Amino acid sequence: MKSFFDIRPLQVSGQTEVSRTKPFRNNVFSFAFLMEGEVLVEVEGKNFLISAGQFMIVPENKDIYIRHFNGCKGFDGCFSLDYLKDVSYPVLRSDKPIQQSFWFDDAVFMGSLLKRMYIAHQDKDKAFLQSAIDLILSQLRPGGRVAVIPEKFLQLVFQRDTVSLSVSEYADLLQVTPNYLNKTVKNHTHRTAIDWIEIARVNLAKQLLKDPSLSIADIAEKTGLVDQSYFSRFFKKKTGMTPSQYRNNR
């Protein structure tokens, strides 16, 4: 593969349905930086929540699922090693994704730098892009990881084709109290446990509604809401459409 670099603006309004079943795999390094919103990404079975002010880089040849978008503004892209001037940065030797937070002035600078990189890419200014990538890579440190309980919780919640449980049931699975689960998930993701359960439930319902062989009652049961009427009210509250309207509009 020849030397490669790409960068794109990332802008997604509102909460967006994403694929639960089709990963993508880049044979180059992938990266993303958010100035607003959040993205939930699963890489090789591990969940990473990227929030405003956070930069994430994913090594080559990793299966990536995008689980959830909400009000995102930032940049994403990818690059090959042979595009770089310097490949000695520790972050490039990590076999795991690396996620790092930038606060206040640093986050503003990072957003401005990536915007300039996007313009430079359009102008084919490789020298500037190589220098900018060097600057970013020098700021990243291997070894950062997501807090254990929130990461395991998100992994359980977004397991494909499973019924969404209650907060208490997830707490039992993780061997913590519901109160502790709520507190640690809120502290690390800025959303409550029930928020994530509802997001996963809606996304699962949308996927199941694509299958015409499943009745609304079947889908309600599979998403953990056995009462069809309650499921329909819940779905409409979250999406603005009834399950039948959503199915017919696809």
pLDDT in tens, 160-174: 667 778 999 999 999
> Is-above-0.85 flag for pTM?
no
149-249: CATH topology: Arc Repressor Mutant, subunit A (1.10.10)
Answer for the pair 72, 94: CB distance below 8 angstroms, yes or no. Answer: no
Answer for the pair 188, 147: CB distance below 8 angstroms, yes or no. Answer: yes
> Rounded distance, CA 230 to CA 220, Å?
9
> Rounded distance, CA 231 to CA 163, Å?
13
Task: Give residue 78's pLDDT.
Answer: 97
Residue 144 pLDDT exceeds 60? no
Quick: pLDDT tens for 9-49: 998 876 665 555 567 888 999 999 999 999 999 898 888 99
Q: Which CATH class is domain 5-139?
A: mainly beta
| Apex 240 CA angle, 9 and 217, nearest 5 | 115
Specify the range with the lowest mean pLDDT, choosing from 33-47, 157-171, 175-189, 201-215: 157-171
Residue range 79-104: average pLDDT?
91
Quick: pLDDT tens for 57-88: 999 999 998 888 888 999 999 999 999 999 99
In the structure, what pLDDT confidence band is assigned to residue 249 with cuts at 50, 70 and 90? confident
Task: Give residue 156's pLDDT.
Answer: 85
Domain assignments of the chain as residue spans, ordered by start:
5-139, 149-249
* Residue 47 CA to its chain's centroid (Å): 8
Task: Give residue 165's pLDDT.
Answer: 85
Q: How much is the mean pLDDT over the chain?
A: 88
- What tokens were used for 28? 């180059």
**DSSP reduced 3-state for 24:** strand
Task: Give residue 2's pLDDT.
Answer: 78
